[in-house]
Amino acid sequence: MMADLPVADSSGSRSVLKKAALEEFRSGLHGRIILPGESAYEGARKIWNGMIDRKPGLIVQCRGADDVISCINLAREEDILLAVRGGGHNVAGNAVCEGGLVIDLSEMRSVRTDVNNHVVHIEGGATLGDVDRETSSHGMATPMGVVTATGYAGLTLHGGMGWQLRKHGLASDNVLGVDIVTADGSLLRANAGENPDLFWAVRGGGGNFGVVTSFSSGLHPVPEEVLFSVFVFSLDNAAAVLRFMRDYMAEAPDELMVLAALWTAPDLPDIPPQHRGSHVLFVLGCYIGPPGDAEAFVKPLRTCRPTVADLSSRKSWVEVQKFFDEDYPPGRRYYWKSTLIKGLTDPVIEAVVRQTASRPSMLTSIDIWPMGGAFGRVDPAATAFGSRDVAFTVNYESNWDDADNDQANIQWTRTSLKEVQDLSQARTYLNFAGLAEDMEKMVRGSFGDNFSRLQAIKAKYDPANLFRTNFNISPGKKGS
C-alpha cells in the first residue's frame, strides 16, 4: 500500500505527493516506480560518479515514450523537481536530483540499424556500447565518444567528441532527427522539416527542451581493422612532442584523429621498468581510412622524439571504442572540467606539462584533442553547439578514490584549468562540467553567440523551466 510521498518541489523545497495522485500515476505506467526504502532504490539512485549522493523522492524506470509523458505530466501538474537520466555518466550528476522525480531511461536502450539508408535509431537510454554493438556488424558507426558505458543521449545533446570528430564531426552534427517529449507532455518529432527550431536546439543545447526518447543518426563506414597507435613519451620530451603534434595536426588529413594524454605509465611488461608509474605523455592515434595509408600518417608522431614504448596494434572498431573502458570504473570519485581553446600555444604547453607533475592523484590525466577537420567546417549558426573556430579541447580528468582527497583534487583541477583558460580561452564544454558550480556563467560561456536564440526556444517549449536540473538555460521572453 502506498502512502503520501515526501518529494521536493521545483524549487527544491519539501512537498508531498498525495497517495491518490501517486496511485493513479502508478496505474497508468508500463515501467517501474522505485521508492526510498525499497531494495532496488540504492542501486537505482547511484550514478557513475561516486561523489554524487542524491536521494530522489521517486525513480521511474520508463519503458517507452508513454511513460515519459506520464512522468512529465505528473512533475508539471504536481510541481515536482525533475531530473532525467540517460547513461548516468555526466560528472556533475544532474541525472539525479535530491527529493525529486528521476525519469530513468536505463530500460530504454534499443538500437535499430537501417543499413540501406545508413541511419541508426537509438533509444534515449542507450549507451555508446549498445550503439556500436548494433552498427559495427554492418561495418558502420555513428560518431560518439571513447568510453562505451557513456550514455549516447547526454553525450550527443551537448556535442560528443570521439575518434570520428575530424572525419565526420560531433555526434550531434550527425543527428538527423529526434523524438522528444516536451514540457507540456507532447511527443514531437524534430528534424530539418518538422519543428526545425527544436531540432537546432537539441544539437548542442542539452536536455533543456524535453526528454529525447529516440535519436535517428547518420552512419558512416569504418574500416574492418584500424591501426590504433599508442606512443608513450617521457615527460621530459612531452613539450617537444606536443609542439610537433600541434603543427602536424594543422596539416593532417581528416582521417587522422589523435588524443594526447598527460598521464601515468601503466605497470605493463611493454613499459620499461624505470618508467612504470611515472608521469608520461601518451599520443594515441586512429586513422579512419584505407589501412595501408595509416602507417605513413602516424609515423611522424612516433619518430618526432624517442618513445618510452610503442603499444600500437591493429584493432577492430569495437576494440578501439573499448580501449579506455577499464580506466573509468563506476563509483570512483571524479571531477572533470574542460575548455576549448583557440591555440595550443607554447605557454599552454608549458603549463600542462608542469601541471602534470603536480597532479594530486596519479589516476588523473590532462587530455588534449586536436579539433578541425569536419568539426571545424560546420557553420557555427547551423546547430546550437556554436563556435567551430576552436583548435583544441583540453580536458582535466581528475580521478581518485579517497574522499579525504576531494579538496586537493578539485582545487588542483580548478587552478590548472584557470591557468590555461587565462592563456587561451575560447569556451567551456558542458559534457565535462565539474560539479555544475557557477552554472549560469558556464552555460553562457559554452553557447556564446547562440545563447539568446536558445533562450527564445526554451521560452517556447519549456516556459516554466521544468527541465531546470539540466545545464539550465533560463527561458528568455517569447519572441526575443
21 touches 71 (CB < 8 A): no
Grid cell digits, residue 465: 523551466
Nearest alpha carbon to residue 386 among 107, 109, 65, 159: 159
What is the rounded distance in angstroms from the CA atom of residue 150 to the CA atom of residue 223?
Answer: 23
Choose, by CB under 6 A, the member of 113, 150, 216, 455 that binds ligand FAD: 150
Place of cell 608520461: 280
Choose, by CB under 6 A, the member of 31, 100, 129, 145 that binds ligand FAD: 145
Tell whether residue 162 is a contact of ligand FAD (CB under 6 A): yes
Residue type, 344: L
The region that residue 436 occupies, defined by phi over 0 for left and psi between -120 and 50 for alpha, beta otherwise, is left
Nearest distance from C-beta of residue 155 to ligand FAD, angstroms: 3
Nearest distance from C-beta of residue 153 to ligand FAD, angstroms: 3
Q: Pick out residues in 208-247 that bind ligand FAD (CB under 6 A).
A: 211-212
Nearer to ligand FAD, 157 or 281 (CB): 157
Tell whether residue 207 is a contact of ligand FAD (CB under 6 A): yes
Strands (E) in 235-299, as ranges, are 256-264, 279-287
Nearest distance from C-beta of residue 203 to ligand FAD, angstroms: 13
Interior CA angle at 58 toward 54 and 59, to 5°? 85
Q: Pick out residues in 312-331 that bind ligand FAD (CB under 6 A).
A: 328
Choose, by CB under 6 A, the member of 100, 124, 285, 370 that binds ligand FAD: 124
Q: Pick out residues in 101-120 that bind ligand FAD (CB under 6 A).
A: 105
Nearest distance from C-beta of residue 20 to ligand FAD, angstroms: 29
Tell whether residue 31 is a contact of ligand FAD (CB under 6 A): no
Nearest alpha carbon to residue 237 among 61, 356, 156, 359: 356
Q: Which stretch binds ligand FAD (CB under 6 A): 53-61, 150-158, 313-321, 402-410?
A: 150-158
C-alpha neighbours within 13 Å on the C-beta side of residue 69: 11
Tell whether residue 470 is a contact of ligand FAD (CB under 6 A): yes
Place of cell 510521498: 5
Q: Pick out residues in 428-457 that bind ligand FAD (CB under 6 A).
A: 431
What is the rounded distance in angstroms from the CA atom of residue 409 to the CA atom of residue 19?
Answer: 44
Nearer to ligand FAD, 86 or 304 (CB): 86
Q: Which is it for strands 333-341 and 392-400: parallel, antiparallel or unpaired? A: antiparallel
Nearest distance from C-beta of residue 83 to ligand FAD, angstroms: 6
- Name the phi and psi angles at 167, rounded to 5: -85, -40
Sheet hosting strand 58-61, strand order edge to edge: 32-34, 58-61, 101-104, 82-85
Nearer to ligand FAD, 304 or 442 (CB): 442
Tell whether residue 153 is a contact of ligand FAD (CB under 6 A): yes
Q: Pick out residues in 327-366 that bind ligand FAD (CB under 6 A).
A: 328
Nearest alpha carbon to residue 103 among 467, 464, 460: 467
Interface positions with ligand FAD (CB under 6 A): 48, 83-91, 94-95, 105, 124, 145-147, 150-151, 153-155, 157, 159-162, 206-207, 211-212, 328, 431, 470
